[in-house]
Structure 1
Amino acid sequence: MTVTTTLAQRAGALLGPRHTSYVVALVTPAGAEVGAVGADEHADVELGSVSKGITGFLWRDAVARGEVAEDAVLGDHLDVPSRPARIPLSALATHRSGLPRVAGANMTRRTWELWRHGRNPYREDLPGLLALLDGVTVRRGSRPSYSNLGFQLLGHAVARAAGLAYADLVAERIARPLGMTDTYVPTSADLLRPGAVAPLARGGRVVEPWANEAVAPAGGVRSSAADLALLLRAMLDRSVVGADAMDPVAPMVGRTRIGAGWLTGPLLRRTVTWHNGGTGGFRSFVGIDRDHGVGVALVSASTRSVDGAGARLLADEGDRA
């Protein structure tokens, strides 16, 4: 693996000057490169909803191991009210659960606190998350509707089936086998590692990290440029556990289809398998072009999107491959 300022400069030119702290990883048939600005290649950042893709891998791996049945429902593995209990895990994985995006009557206030004061809106532990389901309405129908809550429950159900906490499941089945030594799931802010990149809101204001047990499977995984290069390679060669999570099984939006969390569809002249993410102070993009053997990961300590820059890097490298 080569650490190069050239890659960081290319990413910076696409991101623009308002992105002052970011990490980037590029994998091609010729090798891997990583870069970082305002950090180093081993500094960890929040992946946000890219964590849903990690959860998708873990679910498909649990099915392959026989820990979770292909047709399992939520109530098979978590103690939840009767209506959510009947939701298939496959529906959670494809955003067809009928669950709302988030749970809790006070999420409007928490969202205001996020944008006004930078507070993490996700504060429950797992029992607290499950308690919120008492007041949740499950909508009928099979149309896709993006749900953080759905992936929170999917990840914790899979972890419960394995007899582990979600953070330990990520460590045991994703991070350690792939040699991703910088990748972990902090369940509180005091568990952040030294050197962790601070989340930044607009104007460069430091805000609270999204380090919380409940949200972990939907947005709590942290990683680094070096580790993201390893993940991209494992996605491209399908050595990551549960690799069939990347294979689309249902329509999502337009020409985009979804597997287990991972989206596949047209993106700047290419068919790309990808996910993006956003937290209170990070934006992320992870995508692979399987046809050309190219992958890009880009995460910035910012609330400004990195999707366009990540997609452009991926397309440009695909042209060279």
Structure 2
Amino acid sequence: MSALAERAGALLGAKHTTYVVALVTPGGAEVDAMGTDVHADVELGSVSKGITGLLWRDSVDRGEVAEEAVLEDHLDVPSTLAGIRLSALATHTSGLPRLGGSDVLRRSWELWRRGRNPYREDVAGLLAQLEDVKVGKARPAYSNLGFQLLGHAVAAATGSSYADLVAKRIAAPLGLVDTYVPTAADEVRSGAVTPRNRAGREVDAWAGEGIAPAGGVRSSAADLAILLRALLDGTVAGADALEPVAPFTGKLRIGAGWLSGPLLRRTVTWHNGGTGGFRSFVGIDRDHGVGVALVSASTRSVDGAAARLLAEAGDAA
């Protein structure tokens, strides 16, 4: 075990038995894993929203999506949602609820009782859920549904699927060999880390076409180190997604999915995530040129441990 994995383990605590970690500093990069290896893929959960933000900004830069594009420009949505701007989806200010569909309670019960993936619909199924969706006030309110629609709107505008877009515009240019988007459980690669709930029981992987832009991207410690470096040096597609453009909550501001604000005496740009069997954090401190990614096969938070690793790296930089 490396000093990095040992330190991460000490910060996480003994109940985190399987995790991957990446640390990038001005002097280099370190990756390690506990209970698995550095190329085993894990669920990034809502860190996927940050990936979607990058893809949206890249599509605008390429002229494929207009800066002021609305949902009806690229998706067949009900008239009540037609005029929602993609920029509002990217900053969680669209007025959309957190989730779509009329069976949220049943799906939540299946998740907690049986560990089932609550997001099993394809894009057509996702769009079918929109008929009963009520649009609220345009104020900051976290929405998985909003990012699902943002990602699929960008994919439609480019004549691609979301999974292919991640492969072509994020993974391939950066040389990420373990980063992909499974659209069904049988597409999860052999050797992937097994998702487990708080009690350590194996649960379903969160693989599905509909949820992909909001929580379906998978990656590894090795790939996350490369992504962190690209986020820090601005070589990732759509890098301006990191720049905060609107207030979010408290002292936080938001860019295209990415949050920025104070974290342990540092200004950090970050996103975290949670699925039925993983918790994740990806963050960079651009003032000190450091970045940390930490993902654990557990539903116990990793945010505090990741923030401490990032602060310690900044202090040493």
Q: TM-score range by the shorter chain?
A: over 0.9
Question: Of residues 299, 315, 318 in structure 1, which corresponds to 2:314?
Answer: 318
Tell me the secondary structure at the aligned position of residue 80 of structure 2: helix
| Pairwise CA distance, 1:169 | 0.1
Partner of 2:188: 192
Q: Is 1:113–2:142 an aligned residue pair?
A: no
Partner of 2:33: 36
Q: Aligned residue pairs: how many?
A: 317
1:154 maps to amino acid: L
| Pairwise CA distance, 1:83 | 1.3
Partner deviation per Cα, 1:262-281 (whole Å, 9 max, x = no partner): 00000001000000000000
Q: Is 1:281–2:273 an aligned residue pair?
A: no
Tell me the secondary structure at the aligned position of residue 102 of structure 1: coil
Question: Of residues 214, 222, 225 in structure 2, which corresponds to 1:226?
Answer: 222
TM-score when normalising by structure 2: 0.99
Partner of 2:61: 64
Supply the distance in 2 between the matched residues of 1:220 and 1:9 (Cα, whole angstroms): 28
Q: Is 1:89–2:86 an aligned residue pair?
A: yes
Q: Is 1:148–2:148 an aligned residue pair?
A: no
Tell me the secondary structure at the aligned position of residue 85 of structure 1: coil
Partner deviation per Cα, 1:88-110 (whole Å, 9 max, x = no partner): 00000000010100011111111
Supply the distance in 2 between the matched residues of 1:131 and 1:143 (Cα, whole angstroms): 25
**4+ residue stretches of structure 1 with deviation over 6 A?**
none
Q: Is 1:126–2:123 an aligned residue pair?
A: yes
Tell me the secondary structure at the aligned position of residue 281 of structure 2: strand
| Pairwise CA distance, 1:80 | 0.5
1:185 maps to amino acid: V
Partner of 2:260: 264
Partner deviation per Cα, 1:245-267 (whole Å, 9 max, x = no partner): 00000000111000000000000
Question: Of residues 5, 28, 37 in structure 2, which corresponds to 1:8?
Answer: 5
> Conserved in 1, the CA contact under 8 Å of 2:94 and 2:139?
no
Supply the distance in 1 between the matched residues of 2:278 and 2:107 (Cα, whole angstroms): 18
Supply the distance in 1 between the matched residues of 2:192 and 2:185 (Cα, whole angstroms): 11
Partner of 1:204: 200
TM-score when normalising by structure 1: 0.98
Percent pairwise identity:
75
Unpaired runs of at least 5, structure 2: none
Supply the distance in 1 between the matched residues of 2:176 and 2:3 (Cα, whole angstroms): 23
Question: Of residues 272, 276, 289 in structure 2, which corresponds to 1:293?
Answer: 289
1:262 maps to amino acid: W
